[in-house]
Copies of this chain bind each other. A is one copy, B any other.
Amino acid sequence: METTRDTILAAAAELLDQSGPEGVTLRGVAQIAGLSHNAPYKHFRDKEALLAGVAARELRVRTAAMAGTIAASSDPLTALRELAYDHIRWGLQYPNRFRLIFGRWERHDEDLADAASETLRLFIEAIALVRSAGKIRPGDNERTAALLMSLIHGAMEMALGGHLSAEGKGRSDPQGLVDDLIDMLKM
């Protein structure tokens, strides 16, 4: 029954999309939520905790959606590719959410860390299924998952910064680079 807390989180997410983490002011959040400018302090100890709440909430929604994507795929290799594409599509659409979730945190947030390791686990499982189906070369599933996630994050970061699409002759957008990696992983 924490509808007030959720109202605050929704307001913060709205401001985050509009103008990034710096744009998420306690006063702005409170105004959208219809509260006094320091009411959020009764629900979050400070601004960083509020942002961590937004990040964890969004990441859980994303992870659930990705699980759905896997379930809807016809075979393990397609599932892996769709999982990656899904992640990229979301990141490009909501760059501020993506950066907030995977960016730097001053303090460790348990809730966010849990959500992140769940996402990682999903990638590891997707890799494990492809590998046990004999579609990709032998290796450690966790390490291959780290390789794929790192590439996705880096490619997204470069794409958001305009360092990718601009200069490549080939289709060096995030999806293209992920395709390259998956092709090289194939046996």
* A interface residue numbers (CB < 8 A to B): 20, 95, 99, 102-105, 108, 116-117, 120, 140, 142-143, 146-147, 149-158, 160-164, 167-172, 174, 176-177, 180-181, 184-185
A116: which B residues are within 8 A, CB to CB? 163
Cβ of A161 and Cβ of B102 under 8 Å apart? Answer: yes
A164 to B102, alpha carbons, bound, how many Å?
12
Contact between B161 and A103, CB atoms less than 8 A apart = yes
Identical chains bound together, number:
2
Main secondary structure of the interface of A (DSSP, over half): helix
What's the Cα separation between A46 and B157 when bound, in Å? 25
Partner of A99, one of B104, B150, B176: B104
A132 to chain B, nearest CB (A): 17
Q: What are some 8 contacts across the A-B interface (CB < 8 A)?
A: A95-B104, A102-B157, A108-B162, A120-B163, A140-B168, A143-B169, A143-B171, A152-B154
In Å, the complex CA distance between A77 and B140 comes to 25
| A167 to B151 alpha-carbon distance, docked (Å) | 17
14 more A-B residue pairs beyond the given contacts A154-B155, A184-B185, with a C-beta to C-beta distance below 8 A:
A108-B162, A116-B163, A120-B163, A143-B169, A143-B171, A143-B176, A143-B180, A147-B151, A147-B180, A150-B155, A150-B164, A151-B151, A153-B153, A181-B181
